[in-house]
């Protein structure tokens, strides 16, 4: 069965790109044809008149992918602001249908597509005269279950539970959390934080990625090759399978 996920975070800069690239590389290393996809990126780097998506460049640095940047990022905007504003500033015509079409193509050509959002969950994508289109509208239109990336810092219980509550308000199915930057020997607070999000929300932690030392790409590849089980892949698959079955029932 084809699998897809939408990866969001409790905040911008929480590690969505790291987790998306890591998961894609890990799955590919396990013989699963996985590809990352970033529908809309803001903060593209202007390189000789062409905008470079840093997120796609990071995915490509972790694993070899048979796609160009344009195929893995449909809209790359220059300003490092919320997509709705970056789109307005660039005076760009963004078609959600083009994103849907590209996702369908990637799904048809691969076993697993990991879609990375921009910023967190309550992020506006289009602020047009006739409509306001939010990240949650895109997730619903693409019919994807949600994976939430969080970090074990002070305040994360609140941020994580608010993300969960917002997804639930918008009736988006959640498969679980990945805790990024979780030290292998956590403090009492870090350990308690992650236990509390599981206990209160009822959703599982599907993996915990430690803080990686420089050079990040080389060390991350070493971690993948050593088959260090920082992600519970069987549980991740089980949760996506449940979502797929529920979707078929509808």
Ligand X SMILES: Nc1ncnc2c1ncn2[C@@H]1O[C@H](COP(=O)(O)OP(=O)(O)OP(=O)(O)O)[C@@H](O)[C@H]1O
- Residue 209 site contact among Mg ion, ligand X, none (CB < 5 to 8 Å, cut-off depends on kind): ligand X
Residues 6+ apart with CB under 8 A from 23: 7, 34, 36, 114, 231
38 in active site = yes
Q: In the beta sheet, which residues pair with residue 47?
A: 50
Is 180 a binding residue for Mg ion by CB under 5 A? The answer is no
Which residue, 59 or 243, is less far from Mg ion as judged by CB? Answer: 59
- Residue 180 site contact among ligand X, Mg ion, none (CB < 5 to 8 Å, cut-off depends on kind): ligand X
Which residue, 233 or 244, is less far from ligand X as judged by CB? Answer: 233
Sign of the alpha-carbon torsion through 175, 157, 22, 224: negative
Encoded one letter per residue, x for contact with Mg ion by CB under 5 A and - for no contact, window 126-145 reads --------------------
Which residue, 44 or 152, is less far from Mg ion as judged by CB? Answer: 44
Which residue, 111 or 205, is less far from ligand X as judged by CB? Answer: 205
Which residue, 162 or 216, is less far from ligand X as judged by CB? Answer: 216
HSE of 238, CA atoms in CB hemisphere, 13 A = 9
Choose which of 6, 7, 16, 174 interacts with Mg ion (CB under 5 A). Answer: 16
Long-range contacts of range 22-27, CB-CB < 8 Å, 24 or more positions apart? 22/62, 22/209, 22/220, 22/224, 22/231, 23/114, 23/231, 24/59, 24/62, 24/63, 24/65, 24/114, 25/62, 25/63, 25/220, 25/221, 25/224, 26/224, 26/231, 26/233, 27/111, 27/112, 27/233
Q: What is the DSSP letter of 28?
A: H
Nearest CA-CA partner of 198 in 248, 148, 249, 238: 148
Instruction: Identify residues 38-67 at the interface with Mg ion (CB under 5 A).
Output: 55
Among residues 3, 16, 38, 239, which one is catalytic? Answer: 38
Shortest Å, Cβ 44 to ligand X: 11
Q: How far apart are CA 192 and CA 197, in angstroms?
A: 9
Size (the chain), residues:
250
The three-class DSSP label of residue 91 is coil
- Residue 216 site contact among ligand X, Mg ion, none (CB < 5 to 8 Å, cut-off depends on kind): ligand X
Shortest Å, Cβ 183 to ligand X: 10
Residues of this chain that bind ligand X (CB under 6 A): 9, 12-18, 55, 119, 180-181, 209, 211-212, 216
Shortest Å, Cβ 1 to ligand X: 27
The three-class DSSP label of residue 216 is helix
Q: In the beta sheet, which residues pair with residue 45?
A: 52
Q: Which stretch binds Mg ion (CB under 5 A): 15-23, 136-144, 210-218, 239-247?
A: 15-23
Shortest Å, Cβ 58 to ligand X: 7
Choose which of 8, 17, 136, 193 interacts with Mg ion (CB under 5 A). Answer: 17
- Which residues have a catalytic role annotated? 38
- Site residues for Mg ion per CB under 5 A: 16-17, 55
């Amino acid at each position: 069965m084809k699998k897809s996920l939408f990866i969001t975070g409790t905040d911008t800069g929480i590690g969505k790109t790291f987790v998306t690239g890591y998961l894609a590389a890990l799955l590919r290393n396990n013989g699963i044809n996985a590809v990352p996809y970033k529908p809309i990126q803001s903060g593209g780097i202007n390189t000789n008149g062409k905008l470079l998506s840093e997120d796609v460049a990071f995915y490509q640095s972790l694993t070899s992918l048979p796609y160009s940047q344009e195929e893995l990022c449909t809209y790359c905007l220059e300003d490092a602001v919320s997509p709705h504003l970056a789109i307005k500033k660039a005076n760009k015509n963004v078609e959600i249908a083009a994103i849907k079409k590209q996702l369908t193509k990637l799904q048809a050509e691969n076993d697993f597509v990991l879609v990375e959002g921009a910023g967190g969950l309550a992020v506006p994508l289009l602020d047009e005269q006739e409509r306001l289109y939010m990240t949650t509208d895109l997730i619903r239109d693409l019919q994807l279950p949600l994976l939430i990336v969080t970090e074990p810092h002070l305040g994360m219980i609140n941020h994580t539970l608010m993300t969960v509550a917002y997804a639930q308000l918008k009736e988006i199915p959640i498969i679980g959390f990945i805790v990024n930057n979780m030290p292998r020997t956590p403090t009492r607070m870090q350990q308690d934080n992650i236990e509390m999000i599981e206990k209160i929300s009822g959703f599982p932690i599907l993996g915990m990625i430690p803080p990686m030392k420089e050079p990040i790409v080389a060390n991350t590849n070493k971690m993948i090759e050593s088959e260090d089980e920082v992600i519970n892949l069987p549980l991740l698959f089980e949760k996506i399978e449940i979502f797929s079955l529920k979707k078929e029932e509808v």
